[in-house]
Amino acid sequence: MESLIYWLDMAGVIVFALSGVILACRTRMDPFGMLVLAAVTGIGGGTLRDLVLGVRPVFWVNDPTYLWVILATVGLSILGFHYIHRLSRGFLPVADAFGLALFTVIGTHKALLLEAPGLVAVLMGLLTGVAGGMVRDVLARRVPMVLRQEVYATAAIAGGVTYVALDALAVPGALNVALPLLVTLGLRLAAIHWHLALPTFAWVVFQRTPGPSPPSGEGEPPPPTPATPPRPKVRVRMIRPEQSRRKRRS
């Protein structure tokens, strides 16, 4: 079981590091910028997780293989820069979805090994999955995926809850890993393909317009107009995803 988790962790580092390299290429960064984005994406979430859980030293200090894997990923990407640059725009969200699923399971598993409560384990899986990508997007001056309307953090939470539930039921190790992976990855890929999003809530201003004034008799002066316009009403309104997309198109 631990060997499987270790190799999944390595796979997640490679996928997330590659997503950092792709974003660095699209924002025209130099090789050092590619290395920085690859590193913060690959090991940033796990580093914050270990710091929150009080693990000293963090995982990549005990095992520098993670750093060598990131260096190798960046080096191979530079050699194959022509092919990396030609990848479609949809490849980055898909690669990010695979990394999110892998790191969510890794973070939840490690928190449970340290005897953290189930809720904390789910949050640690979420932190491991989204923190590195958030730092990557901030450094590239983009709105982080987790802060957009798309289903992102929700997929990680669903995967973490699935892992905790299966662990409490003592489900065999391979199945306990595979099902949360499929839940997180399936939700994220479905959100990418069908543009699924959670509803948002916003302040909507309704301007009151005065109604038509009644007709005045002959010789009577018209009714006085109000000195101040009517105050607008402000309400909280739920905006559904399809309404938000329709507004962006118009």
| H-helix segments, the chain | 2-26, 31-53, 59-62, 65-79, 81-85, 91-113, 118-139, 153-168, 173-194, 241-249
Domain ranges of the chain: 2-194, 200-212+223-249
Tokens standing for residue 36: 């920085």
- What DSSP string describes 205-232? EE---PPPPPPPPTTPPPPPPPSSPPPP
Query: pLDDT grade, residue 41 (50/70/90)?
Result: very high
DSSP letter, residue 195: T
- Per-residue pLDDT tens for 225-244? 555 666 666 666 666 666 55
Q: Name, in order, each residue with C-beta under 8 angstroms of 95's C-beta and a sequence gap of 6 or more.
A: 15, 16, 18, 19, 22
Confirm if 20 and 136 have CB atoms less than 8 A apart: yes
Nearest by Cα to 106 from 54, 150, 186, 42: 42
- Per-residue pLDDT tens for 62-108? 999 999 999 999 999 999 887 877 776 788 889 999 999 999 999 99
- The CA distance from 69 to 13, in Å, is 8
Q: Which residue has the tokens 């289903």?
A: 151
Pair type for strands 233-239 and 200-206:
antiparallel
Predicted pLDDT at 212: 59
- The model carries a pTM of 0.82
Task: Give me the chain's average pLDDT, please.
Answer: 86
Dump strand ranges (E) for the chain: 200-206, 233-239
Angle, CA 178 vertex, CA 77 and CA 116 arms, to 5°: 95
- The CA distance from 97 to 101, in Å, is 6
Q: Which residue has the tokens 């990549």?
A: 60
Which of the residue ranges 5-19, 140-154, 221-235 has the most confident prediction, judged by mean pLDDT? 5-19
